[in-house]
């Protein structure tokens, strides 16, 4: 059983031997829309209310009974502290009541593990690009649950998803910004505004990411005198093109640098249609195998946490202690926390 509550989605999933048996998801997103972003206290309260019904729905989806649950994995970090606490408490209570082991796991390792549910085990070595609301990182991954994960780069400021959310706000599009921009951009011209690709100069770090300057560039464009022929859809499409170009270019560079031929793209922004299509085109050209989970497994969910829990169980990992706590900011080094 995997439990996810790091942000605004209450997710519960069941995985056995790499196979997704069933899952369920509840979201408090509608309650945050009028604030333009996730309000931690509202998210935490919604997790409390949704937890038991979501567990029930996931059990039903998987056709399982409580006594068939063999272990419980939970996102112990990173994320919103108040939200994480709800999942950790629920996981501890469940593990204790069932008399089964508890595994605290890193949310980002869960994102990477989501891909194994559709494409099978990861190869011996691969590069993972994580593009979510809180993180933008390039990782060198050997064995996801055994070997320490090497960060090739992390964003210097905003995460890619954060940039989507902030730019959507600038353009008057609803939260969450990523799906809004993706939708609106379909009718826009991605070449209408040539936003400078961040950290792509010859003296910039080859794998570095930075999105706050791009967000400011969009703000300046929106505030300045505009070409009446260029509308919101064009600005959205141009911004999206810039982010896609940046993350895909750097991910392919990372594969070359590491000498690996598999790229895995995960996290909420991996649901973006242009990131997906551009990654497909460029990886095909570069002879790199691209793995991207289906959209519903890209954004936060319980199945991905069950997936990493299942890998830990099968690897014979030592369960986490009963004093497992929530860690709101913790770098991804090992898949297991606590
Ligand atoms: O991985 P995720 O569900 O939660 C975190 O762990 O952060 O990612 C959420 C982020 C949000 O910033 C959201 O705007 C973005 O992913 N996102 C997208 C799309 N769907 C979700 N960004 C671009 N295009 C999308 N289709
Ligand atoms: Zn996430």
User: What pLDDT digit, counting tens, does each position of 34-82 carry?
Assistant: 998 899 999 999 999 999 999 999 999 999 999 999 999 999 999 999 9
Distance of CA 319 to the CA centre of its chain: 24
Per residue in 130-155, pLDDT tens? 999 999 999 999 999 999 999 999 99
What is the CB < 6 Å shell around ligand 1? 7, 132-134, 161-162, 164-165, 176-179, 182, 267-269, 271-272, 299-300
Q: Hey, how many other C-beta atoms are within 10 angstroms of the C-beta on 320? A: 25
| 230 CB-side CA count, 13 A | 19
How far are the Cα atoms of 11, 56, 60, 69, 158 from residue 63, in angstroms, in the given order? Answer: 17, 10, 5, 11, 41
Q: Going by DSSP bridges, is the β-strand pair 9-16/2-4 parallel, antiparallel, or unpaired?
A: antiparallel
First to last CA, the chain: 18
Contacts of 93 (CB under 8 A, 6+ apart): none
CA of 301 to the centre of ligand 2 (A): 8
Instruction: Indicate the DSSP class of residue 202.
Output: T
Spatial separation of the C-alpha atoms in residues 80 and 95, rounded to whole Å? 22
Query: Whose Cα sits closest to atom 7 in ligand 1?
Result: 133
Average pLDDT over residues 26-37: 92
CA-proximal residue: ligand 1, atom 26 (nearest): 272
Q: Give the pLDDT of residue 37.
A: 87
- Is residue 338 pLDDT above 90, yes or no? no
Residue of 4, 161, 163, 170 with the most ligand 1 atoms within 8 Å of its CB, for mutation: 161
Q: Which atom of ligand 1 is nearest to the CA of 162?
A: 12
Res. 187 pLDDT band, cuts 50 70 90:
very high
Question: Whole-angstrom Cα distance, residue 40 to residue 320?
Answer: 26
φ, ψ for residue 74, nearest 5 deg? -145, 145
Task: Judge contact between 327 and 76, C-beta under 8 A.
Answer: yes
From ligand 2's centre to the CA of 218, what distance in Å? 25
133 in Cβ contact with 161 (< 8 Å): yes
For atom 22 of ligand 1, the residue with the nearest CA is: 178
Of residues 24, 26, 87, the one with CA closest to residue 57: 24
274 alpha carbon – ligand 1 mean position (Å): 13
């Amino acid at each position: 059983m995997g439990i996810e509550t790091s942000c605004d989605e209450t997710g519960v999933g069941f995985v056995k031997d790499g196979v997704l048996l069933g899952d369920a998801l509840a979201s408090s997103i509608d309650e945050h829309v009028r604030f333009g972003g996730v309000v931690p206290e509202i998210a935490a309260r919604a997790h409390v209310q949704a937890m038991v019904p979501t567990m029930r729905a996931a059990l039903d989806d998987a056709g399982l009974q409580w006594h068939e649950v063999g272990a419980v994995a939970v996102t112990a970090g990173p994320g919103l502290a108040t939200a994480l606490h709800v999942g950790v408490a629920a996981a501890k209570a469940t593990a204790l009541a069932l008399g089964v082991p508890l595994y605290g796991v890193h949310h980002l390792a869960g994102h990477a593990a989501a891909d194994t549910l559709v494409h099978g085990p990861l190869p011996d070595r691969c590069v993972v690009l994580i593009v979510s609301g809180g993180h933008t990182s390039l990782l060198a991954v050997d064995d996801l649950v055994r070997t320490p994960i090497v960060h090739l780069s992390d964003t210097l400021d905003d995460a890619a998803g954060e940039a989507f959310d902030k730019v959507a706000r600038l353009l008057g599009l609803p939260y969450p910004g990523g799906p809004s921009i993706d939708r609106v951009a379909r009718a826009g011209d991605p070449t209408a505004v040539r936003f400078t690709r961040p950290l792509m100069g010859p003296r910039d770090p080859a794998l570095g990411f930075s999105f706050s300057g791009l967000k400011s560039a969009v703000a300046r464009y929106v505030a300045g005198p505009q070409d009446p022929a260029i509308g919101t859809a064009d600005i959205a499409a141009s911004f999206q093109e810039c982010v896609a170009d940046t993350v895909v270019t750097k991910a392919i560079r990372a594969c070359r640098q590491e000498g690996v031929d598999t790229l895995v793209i995960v996290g909420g922004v991996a649901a973006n249609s242009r990131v997906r299509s551009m990654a497909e085109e460029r990886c095909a050209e570069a002879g790199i195998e691209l793995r991207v989970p289906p959209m519903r497994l890209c954004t936060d969910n319980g199945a991905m946490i069950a997936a990493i829990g299942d890998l830990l169980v099968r690897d014979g990992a030592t369960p986490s202690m009963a004093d497992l706590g929530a860690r709101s900011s913790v770098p991804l080094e090992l898949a297991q926390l606590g």
